Amino acid sequence: MSFKEYKTNIEENDTAILYLGFDNMHAIKVVKGQTFQTKFGALRLSNLIGKPYGSRIQCPKGYLYVLYPTPELWTQNLPHRTQILYSTDISLVTLQLDLKPGSVVVESGTGSGSLSHAIIRTVAPEGHLYTFEFHEQRAQIAKEEFVEHGVSDFVTVTHKDVCQDGFGLNGIADAVFLDLPRPWDAITSAKQALKREGGRLCSFSPCIEQVQKTCEILQQLGFEDITSMECLVKNYDVRTLNLPIADLGKNSTLLNTALEEKKACKEIEEKADSVKIQNETEDLKTKEKSEPMDTDIKEKLTSKDKDKSNKAVDKSKLRTDFDLIGKKEQYNFFFKTGVFPQNMPGHTGYLTFCTLYPS
């Protein structure tokens, strides 16, 4: 199998994603004779072989779906050997580094391979990824995963401390990505790895102090368009609020204005509904003249029109907001509001992007 292309049916030794819910997924290797335990009971992996990806599989106490692995699904389910980048940051990196099929990318460090799989999918089939990892065991495991996932032809894994020894590459890369504790130590070597016609560089750092020092070195080495970003998902809680209008007495201007506006809106809605019903009736009469119809069919259509008109009249009286907050009363004021939380968890790090122009 391969992460860079899609196939229809599940085969033995494939990596597949078991989907039990948006927050309950598992990456498995389909091996004959093995059993995988889920919250819905035991799943015999032999039963998956030959079935199409996306199939619904029945378990003793429920069902699940078998999905074809993509870099996004792999990011959510991979075995964590290090902290990883998630899809929000990965998408921004791919965009800002201008990655496309045929691009040559240098990455350090490899870590758990989350970003690596996304880069490979983007640059294949003509491009290539050179990824460096200072931890020997992690480098070896990543190399084995790339072979197992069918993408080893598009990636070269090297066990090396690039902060100390450099990349050892000259003028071959369109883009460089650094995920290092001391990225400024690798920037000189990264500059040498970029093509003579220039390229893009990205550095990922969790602390703002690292970003500041990295930016200083980038300026000294001639990089331009230096920008630091933080990519966060902001959730808005959208609700319909129902607030009472202040009653300041019979001569209350605020209350009287609100009631007049409400009455005007109601009249407009009723008028629009009546015009709509009138138009539909005229259309029906026109059809009757051009195409005579049976009495039974005519009665059915007439009864349907009556139902529609009744619903149209009643619609203005009812509010069907599922997210309504507050008490429903005649003089209340309704409006939509979107509120986001004051404290937003989810900080992963800062992404610093820059450009090296031709010298």
* Digit-coded pLDDT (tens) for 34-67: 999 999 999 999 999 999 999 999 999 999 999 9
**Of the residues 6, 37, 69, the one at which a domain ends:** 69
* Extended strands (E) in 148-216: 155-159, 175-178, 199-205
Number of neighbouring beta carbons within 10 Å of residue 242: 17
The residue assigned the tokens 């009472």 is 244
Query: Which band of pLDDT confidence, cut at 50, 70 and 90, is reported for residue 315?
Result: very low
- Residue 268 falls within a domain, yes or no? yes
DSSP 3-state percent helix, strand, coil across the chain (nearest 5): 35, 25, 35
How many whole angstroms separate alpha carbon 150 and alpha carbon 2? 4
Mean pLDDT on 185-206: 96
**Of the residues 23, 50, 69, the one at which a domain ends:** 69
270 is in an annotated binding site: no
- Exposure class string for 60-78: b at 16+ Cβ within 10 A, else e: eeeebebbbbebebbbbeb
How many whole angstroms separate alpha carbon 332 and alpha carbon 49? 61
Mean pLDDT on 297-307: 55
Supply the pLDDT for residue 329. Answer: 55
278 and 206 within one domain: no
46 is in an annotated binding site: no
Indicate whether this model's pTM tops 0.75: no
Look at residue 168 and give its three-state secondary structure: coil
Domain count along the chain: 3
- Residue 9 falls within a domain, yes or no? no
Supply the pLDDT for residue 251. Answer: 59
At position 243, the amino acid (one-letter code) is L
274 is in an annotated binding site: no
CATH code of residue 220: 3.40.50.150
Query: Which band of pLDDT confidence, cut at 50, 70 and 90, is reported for residue 312?
Result: very low
CATH code of residue 43: 3.10.330.20
Query: Which band of pLDDT confidence, cut at 50, 70 and 90, is reported for residue 313?
Result: very low
97 and 183 within one domain: yes
Mean pLDDT on 67-96: 94
11 is in an annotated binding site: no
C-alpha of 117 from chain center: 16
Own/partner contacts of 269-274, CB < 8 Å, gap of 24 or more, are: 269/315, 269/316, 270/313, 270/316, 273/309, 273/312, 273/313, 273/315, 273/316
- Residue 126 falls within a domain, yes or no? yes
- Residue 6 falls within a domain, yes or no? no
pLDDT, tens digit, 9 for 90 and up, residues 202-250: 999 999 999 999 999 999 999 999 999 999 888 888 887 777 766 666 5
114 is in an annotated binding site: yes
- Residue 219 falls within a domain, yes or no? yes
33 is in an annotated binding site: no
148 is in an annotated binding site: no
For residue 314, give its domain range. 237-339
119 and 104 within one domain: yes
81 and 227 within one domain: yes
**Of the residues 69, 93, 115, the one at which a domain ends:** 69
Look at residue 225 and give its three-state secondary structure: strand
176 and 84 within one domain: yes
147 and 135 within one domain: yes
Mean pLDDT on 257-262: 70
102 and 55 within one domain: no
Supply the pLDDT for residue 38. Answer: 93
Query: Which band of pLDDT confidence, cut at 50, 70 and 90, is reported for residue 355?
Result: very high
- Residue 3 falls within a domain, yes or no? no
Closest CA to 345 of 193, 242, 232: 232
- Residue 10 falls within a domain, yes or no? no
- Residue 300 falls within a domain, yes or no? yes
Mean pLDDT on 123-136: 96
